[in-house]
Amino acid sequence: MKAREVNFDGLVGLTHHYAGLSFGNEASTKHQFRVSNPKLAAKQGLLKMKALADAGFAQGVIPPQERPNVPLLRQLGFSGSDEQVVERAAKQAPQLLSAVSSASSMWVANAATVCPSADSLDGKTHFTVANLNNKFHRASEAPTTENLLRAIFRDQQVFSVHGALPQVAMFGDEGAANHNRLGGAYGEPSTQLFIYGREEAKAGLVPARYPARQTLEASQAVARLNQVNPDLLVFAQQNPTVIDQGVFHNDVIAVSNRQVLFCHEQAFLHQHDLYAQLREKVSGFTAIEVPADKVSVADAVGTYLFNSQLLSREDGSMTLVLPEESRQHAGVWRYLNEVLAADNPISDLQVYDLRESMANGGGPACLRLRVVLNEAEQKAVNPAVMMNDKLFITLNNWVDRWYRDQLTQADLADPQLLREGREALDELTHILDLGSVYPFQR
Ligand SMILES: NCCC[C@H](NC(=O)CCC(=O)O)C(=O)O
C-alpha cells in the first residue's frame, strides 16, 4: 500500500503579533513591538498551502487556538467577566496579556512528534503532543493541541494521540522540530533521529547564552509513548554553540527527507559519529552538508535556508521550499543554486513570502507538521481539513471577514478582539468539521 507524506500547516491566528517572548529566538527578540498584520500572515500561509496542494503534494490545515487565553488569566488571579479579566490584565500586566494572546500555535512543527505506522510496534500512527515547557506562552498550547489532533486524526483504530509530557524542564519537549525520519519509501520502516539540546541527568556540554529547549529525557519518553521500534532509534545532541547563535530548534539548521539530510556542518555535536550511525541504518544515506565558509551559522539563522521543506516528487527528485529571505541573501542564494546544480536529489527550489511568520522566527518548516500516512490512514483523516480549491476560497473569505490588518500589544486590551476571535473560531470549527475543541465551546 502506497504511503505518502501529508503536510498539515498551522493557520495563523487572529491575534498574531510581535511580543518578543522567545529568548534565544533572535527574530522574536528583534521584532518585539513591531506592528503585525494578522490578515496578511494568514494569507501568506494559505498561499503556501494552496500552491503545494496544486503541485500535487497532499496538504491539510490545523486551525489556530483561542486567544487571549482567558482561563489562563483566571489561573493567574484575574477575575470578573471575561471582558473584565482581559481589561484588568491589560492594565496590571500588559506583558502577560500579550503572552496569553500569542498566536504561536501556528508553528505546528512544535505541536507534536509523529510516528508513522510503519515504525511503530503496534502498527498505529502515533502523535505525542509537545509540552513546549521552555516558554510560558507556548506551554499553554498543549491541551487544545491535543483536542485538535483528536478532531483531525479521530479514528482510534489507526491513530493514537498521546497527551504532553509532564510540564517540567526535565521533560522539555518541542515536538517534530527536533525530530527527523530517514529511510527509503515512506511506507517502509525508517530511522527516527531525535535531536536534543541537553541531558538533565548529566552535566555535559550545554549552551552558555541561550536555553536548550529539548532534553534527552523528553526525547526518550516521546519515543516510548510513540512506540517507536527500538531498532529504528537514534538520539543525537544538537551543537550547543549553534544554540547560542540562535538555533533554538534543530529545524533551523537541518532538514531531512527520505535518505537525505540537508544540514549545516556545525549542526550536531558529534556530527561524524552521527553520519556513521546513519550510514549503517539508512540505505543510500546522503548528507548534503553546508560548510561554514559558504554559509555561516549567522546567515543560516538570518535567512532560514534550513527551515525549508524537502519534498519528494513522483520521479524521486526533491523540491526545496524556502522562505523569500534566503533568496534575498546573495551568498545563500548562490550556494543554493550550487546545490541545485550538483549531483544530489534536490532539483527544484521554490520560494514563498512568509515575512509575517518569519519575523517571529517561523519559516516554511516551522509552519508544517509532517504526517506519513498509508492509503487507509489517509482515508481516516477528517476530510474537511484537506486543502483544495473550495477550502482555499472558504478560508480566504473567512480571513477577510474576521482578521485585522494591523495589531499591536495595545490592541489586545480591546474586548471586541476577544469576541471576534470566538465568533470566528466557532465558525471555523464548522468549516473544518471539528466539533467542540476550544475552551469557550466546552
Ligand atoms: N518553530 C518556530 C517557532 C517560533 C516561536 N516563536 C515565538 O513564539 C515568538 C512569539 C513572539 O515573540 O511574539 C518559538 O520561538 O517557539
The binding site for substrate consists of 19-28, 110, 137-138, 213, 251, 360
Q: Helices 415-431 & 82-92, crossing angle to 10 degrees?
A: 130
User: Is 87 part of a structural domain of the chain?
Assistant: no
Q: Ligand 1, closest atom to CA 366?
A: 1
pLDDT at 292: 98
C-beta separation of 306 from 264 below 8 A: yes
pLDDT at 202: 92
Beta bridge partners of 238: 268
pLDDT at 203: 86
The residue assigned the cell 488571579 is 77
Q: What angle (nearest 5°) sits at the alpha carbon of residue 263, between those of residues 290 and 323? A: 95
Report the complex ipTM: 0.99
pLDDT at 1: 56
Q: Containing domain of residue 329, as a range?
A: 4-67+102-441
What CATH number is given to the structural domain containing 120? 3.75.10.20
Rg (CA), the chain: 20
Intervals of the chain under pLDDT 70? 1
174 classed as catalytic: yes
C-alpha cell read off for 428: 471555523
User: Is 94 part of a structural domain of the chain?
Assistant: no
User: Is 81 part of a structural domain of the chain?
Assistant: no
User: Is 396 part of a structural domain of the chain?
Assistant: yes
Task: Assess whether the C-beta atom of 258 lies below 6 angstroms from ligand 1.
Answer: no
Output the CA 361–ligand 1 centroid distance in Å: 6
C-beta separation of 436 from 30 below 8 A: no
Distance CA 284, CA 426 (A): 48
249 classed as catalytic: yes
Number of domains in the chain: 1
User: Is 206 part of a structural domain of the chain?
Assistant: yes
With the most atoms of ligand 1 within 8 angstroms of its CB, the residue from 31, 107, 407 to mutate is 107
366 classed as catalytic: yes
User: Is 86 part of a structural domain of the chain?
Assistant: no
Distance CA 303, CA 323 (A): 8
Q: Residue ranges of the alpha helices (H) in 15-62?
A: 26-30, 38-54
Beta bridge partners of 346: 318
Distance CA 342, CA 340 (A): 6
Output the CA 180–ligand 1 centroid distance in Å: 20
Catalytic member of 66, 87, 174, 325 = 174
